[in-house]
Amino acid sequence: MHSSAYRPQFSWQLRTRRLALGRRTLLMAIINLTPDSFSGDGWYRSQGSLDKDAPLRPESTAEARGQAVAAAVAAMDAGAEIVDLGAESTRPQATPISSEEELRRILPVLDQLLGERPDAVVSVDTYHAETAREVARHGAEIINDVSGLAWDPRMASVVAESGCGLVLMHTRGRPSEWGSLPELEGQEVVPLVFAGLREQLVQAEAAGISSERIVTDPGLSFGKRGRENFALLAGLRRLHALGRPLLVGLSRKGFLGEVVQPLQRDPLEIRQARHVATVAGNVTAILGGAHILRVHDVQATREAAAVADAVLEQSPEGWAAQNG
């Protein structure tokens, strides 16, 4: 790690390669292979139906897979360094799925994507150990576990054996519990997340996952409500004391909509408002020292990141980093 106040630099060890983190912001493109994504972009939705829970027509599956692969390729061409495949929604009302169903959705897309783009750096968003084991065998480089290794007791050992890079997220409770969690005062949020991530890092390393393989994610909206997320964004830089890179995923999340929706006179403008709010939130995250952003809109984020990175480079801390 090269340490500087503006953004520490790391070399992230993945299964077969390394990624340099810190000199500029890297983008992880979201490819949702779900019928019920909260952001409305899942590829495995029934064609011609607005019912997100409607069963898939068999003839639509191949087309959906092709569309998902095309979206992943387009994201890479737009500048995403990582593609993140996710097959289970974590919205509070979502129905959990089995590892078998998760693999049914992921493996055909993963195989086709790596067949077309062997150089793709693919992350898989899962908390199931068996899913992690199989996607690593099929070429995934990163496991993105929203539970921070907590929801499947076998996950830590599987990730250690796979050699994959790990995104270790802080989650406060399970999705079904989020609505009943006690509210946090603003000053409580960052210390809570810091302590949780520190404990998770100790557990991961005890399981044999070396620190150079781990990126931390503060888990915006994962058990944090409303303005608790803004308190976390405001204190993001304090998480650098964990000594690991930071990934931030806030794309299209509800807490952004809550602050911009009152400004909209036309309900049809709300979706566009979340787009603008997402860009603003991502710039805030970069200026707070985020190394990687998990995003839906690669092009807009890439442009915003270029501006934010330029600001960081020209800060006094940035000069010190460049010179030494």
**What number is the average pLDDT over the span 169-178?**
89
Q: Is residue 145 part of a domain?
A: yes
41, pLDDT greater than 70: no
pLDDT attached to residue 62: 83
Given the residues 7, 213, 274, 294, select the one marked as catalytic.
294
- Residue whose token pair is 């707070």: 288
Q: Is residue 304 part of a domain?
A: yes
144, pLDDT greater than 70: yes
CATH number at residue 243: 3.20.20.20
322, pLDDT greater than 70: no
Packing angle, helices 129-137 and 99-116, rounded to 10: 20
Q: Is 265 known to be catalytic?
A: no
Q: Is residue 277 part of a domain?
A: yes
Spatial distance between the Cα atoms of 88 and 94, rounded to a whole number of angstroms: 8
Spatial distance between the Cα atoms of 240 and 135, rounded to a whole number of angstroms: 30
Whether residue 122 contacts residue 114, with contact meaning beta carbons closer than 8 Å, is answered with yes
pTM to 2 decimal places: 0.89
Residues 6 or more apart whose Cβ sits within 8 Å of residue 286: 25, 293, 305, 308, 309, 312
Q: Is residue 1 part of a domain?
A: no
pLDDT attached to residue 267: 65
198, pLDDT greater than 80: yes
* Phi, psi values for residue 250, rounded to 5°: -130, 5
Q: Is 294 known to be catalytic?
A: yes
As to burial, measured by CB atoms within 10 angstroms (0-12 exposed, 13-18 middle, 19+ buried), residue 93 is exposed
Q: Is residue 5 part of a domain?
A: no
Residue 55 lies in domain: 10-322
Least reliable range by pLDDT among 65-74, 97-106, 170-179, 202-211: 170-179
Q: Is residue 287 part of a domain?
A: yes
Spatial distance between the Cα atoms of 6 and 308, rounded to a whole number of angstroms: 11
Q: Is residue 2 part of a domain?
A: no
Question: Per the structure, how many domains does the chain have?
Answer: 1
87-to-8, 25, 49, 78, 81 alpha-carbon distances in Å: 32, 26, 19, 23, 20
Given the residues 253, 265, 271, 274, select the one marked as catalytic.
253
Q: Is residue 104 part of a domain?
A: yes
164, pLDDT greater than 60: yes
pLDDT attached to residue 269: 64
pLDDT tens digits, 221-271: 999 999 999 999 999 999 999 999 999 999 999 999 889 888 877 766 666
38, pLDDT greater than 50: no
pLDDT tens digits, 50-66: 333 334 443 357 888 89
